[in-house]
Amino acid sequence: MRQRRRTVRCAALLAAGAAALAGAGALVRRKLLLIRVTGSSMAPTYEDGARLLVRTGIRIQRGDVVVFRHPRGERDPEQLRWLVKRVTALPGEPVPRDVLERVGARPGEAVPEGRMVVRGDAESTLDSRHFGYVPTGTVLGVVVPRRTHRTFPAPAEGAIAVN
């Protein structure tokens, strides 16, 4: 009788563990996306064709590389829908000098709530110097920094292509 109870408890624990692992796997899949970079606006950090892991639902910090909806993408169907850029100023921080004129700010003014300033890593790139502030609500996620030289598998068909 004891042996049977022990077997039933062991099976219940294994089933609970398997369910927990399946739930954790589903949660990770919703929190992480694999994207492919198109273009060279983030070179040399991320070259054309690079695959990036993007974490959703994470707090943005200055210096993070983010994926966000193109501010003019809906008006111009020729534009990519998503962009990859580095955050250079967040709400409450001073507006960078090279963006002042574009956003109509004066030296010393702060980035307004719900907005951020982004820059590409390449010298010539489409960023806040061209389209102004980026609404923080348009951010898809933050690129997970690479810790090794390991490559990710090719994205599945229908993966998001970003610049």
- The predicted structure's pLDDT at residue 102: 95
Predicted pLDDT at 13:
47
- pLDDT by 10s per residue, the chain, length 163: 666 665 655 454 455 554 444 444 444 456 999 999 999 999 999 999 999 999 999 999 999 999 999 987 665 665 668 999 999 999 999 999 999 999 999 999 999 999 999 999 998 899 999 999 999 999 999 999 876 545 556 656 656 666 5
Short-list 138, 128, 146, 36, CA closest to 85: 128
161: nearest Cα among 89, 73, 95, 91: 73
- 65 contacts: CB under 8 Å, gap ≥ 6: 42, 45, 46, 84, 85, 86, 87, 142, 143, 145
Which is nearest to 117 in space by CA: 141, 94, 143, 140?
94
Give the pLDDT of residue 159.
61
Q: Which pTM does this prediction carry?
A: 0.71
**Cα 158 to Cα 40, 48, 130, 133, 161, distances in angstroms:** 21, 18, 29, 29, 9
What pLDDT shows up at residue 124?
Answer: 87
* Residues 163, 141: Cα–Cα separation, whole Å: 14
d(CA 59, CA 155): 25
